[in-house]
Amino acid sequence: MPDARGGNAAAAKPTVKDFLFGKVIGEGSFSTVYLTKELKSNEEYAIKVCEKLHILRENKKPAVLREKHILSQLVKKPSPLVVQLKCSFQDEDRLYFVITYAKNGDLLKYIHKVGNFNMDCTRFYSGEIMCALKYLHQAGVVHRDLKPENILMTDKMHIMLTDFGSARILPASQSHKKRNSFVGTAQYVSPEVLTDGPISPAMDLWALGCIIYQMVSGLPPFRSLQRTMRYAGADYAIFQSILKLEYNFPDDFDLEAKRLVELLLKLEPKERATIADLQRDPFYAQLDIDNIHLQEPPQIVPFLPGTEETNWDLVSMPGLDERQISRLLGLRLGESNSPENATPSTAESSKPVIRNGVMDFTPEDEESRLTEQRCKSEWHRFVEGNLILKKGMVDKKKGLFPRRRMLLLTTGPHLYYVDPEKMVRKGEIPWSPALNPEPKNFKTFFVHTPNRTYNLEDPEGYALRWCKAINEVYEFYYGQRK
């Protein structure tokens, strides 16, 4: 494949007909990213497709050209921790950027699934981000939109920075520093962006501090207290917290990580720790930062498999016409009959009733218990008419922020959780053949689902009983685990 500098012959320029398009793997304000396979090399790539009409309508042409220029400059001396532009081309309707593919999704997915990282993971992955930023800053590039969603995970579980749509190249003269236009994501934006300060590498160091905080606690330091981030004024409230440096550490936040975050979250850019400071910091003493991409990453626990492989045998035609786009968007919407999306069928009623646990009852018993539950149980209104098989208070932990919830295991099967103070149902752990409970100790247990791991703690120490009951209900509806 010709490289981003154009190759040695115009005839070698690729087209969409040189690629099979597998699935949508990302979407932006004016672009869609597809997983593709190049027919000639059989290599997988990500292709960012930008609609020309939308670019012109939204006045995004300067940003698109700037991103292409930055990626073209970086590929001259590439880093394994930053996506590389393999080539670019266009047709009448679209621009295409062919970039390296990181198959294991983004960092945010892993933080959400495990709740929060241990110190080994926090140290290693923040060290890799630091190394990637060192490379960018030495090349005169400031990312300006560093966040977990823009940090991808490769097949070997190393990071790879992506999305340079907001990036800028620093001017050679420090006396002519460019001023900030507003870019970035509210939770990670630096104070100088909000006060129209100059563009500098310190912006990315602020975002790194926010990410380290999120790795340790599960949530970013500056966030809306509202449950929905998109309510009117939510970003404004976050911006006010940033400008006032208003954030708090949970009680059990690691002290060394806390010290590091405090070195990075300084209102004045000149007061923030630099990458040179961080490389000398005791927190990273065990790491060879400059060669960190050659080291074995620590395992993220509980282990999370990458995205499922694409079956290229099912993709028969190359290119990206309207029919292909419709097919790919259909895949993105989850039109699948895979076991993970399956629900218990009506045929399940023919299964024998388990006689040694929470499912030990006859249909007559069930009706009698439901009648009593309707009359006497304050929790009945939350379970949609299902019979409560087991209930109890648990601490539902997301990062370092536990929430006391009433957990309700019912027929159906269902696992509801309710706020016992406000008496509001907060959600439900989704059942599927892939659901799997795992006790960690007498108090703590996990419930693994395809898209998330729920971290629960029974203050009474009955984690093993919860796992046993969930497994009994699982076997009743889905049969023995294979």
Domain ranges (residues) in the chain:
10-101, 107-294, 343-478
3-state helix, strand, coil in the chain (%, to 5): 35, 20, 45
Residue 290, Cβ neighbours under 10 Å: how many? 11
- Asked whether the predicted pLDDT for residue 314 surpasses 90, the reply is no
Residue with tokens 């905080």: 213
**Distance from C-alpha of 99 to C-alpha of 87, rounded to nearest angstrom:** 7
Class of 343-478 per CATH? mainly beta
Query: Does this chain's domain 107-294 share its CATH topology with 343-478?
Result: no
**pLDDT tier, 242 (very low <50, low <70, confident <90, very high otherwise):** very high
**pLDDT tier, 300 (very low <50, low <70, confident <90, very high otherwise):** confident
Do the beta carbons of residue 46 and residue 122 sit within 8 Å?
no
What is the predicted pLDDT for the residue at 480? 83
Sign of the C-alpha dihedral, residues 409, 410, 411, 416?
Answer: negative
What is the predicted pLDDT for the residue at 323? 67
Q: What is the mean pLDDT of the chain?
A: 84
User: pTM value?
Assistant: 0.69
- 136: enclosing H helix or E strand: helix 119-138
If phi > 0 it is left, if psi is from -120 to 50 it is alpha, else beta; for residue 343 that is beta
Do the beta carbons of residue 428 and residue 435 sit within 8 Å?
no
Q: Higher confidence at residue 36 or residue 182?
A: 36
What is the predicted pLDDT for the residue at 227? 37
**360 is a catalytic site residue:** no
Q: Which residues are annotated as a binding site for ATP?
A: 48
Class of 10-101 per CATH? alpha beta
Its CATH architecture, for the domain 107-294, is Orthogonal Bundle (1.10)
- 431: enclosing H helix or E strand: none
Among the listed residues 3, 91, 120, 145, the single catalytic one is 145
Burial 317-337 (b: 16+ CB within 10 A, else e): ebebeeebeebbeeeeeeeee
Q: Higher confidence at residue 182 or residue 389?
A: 389
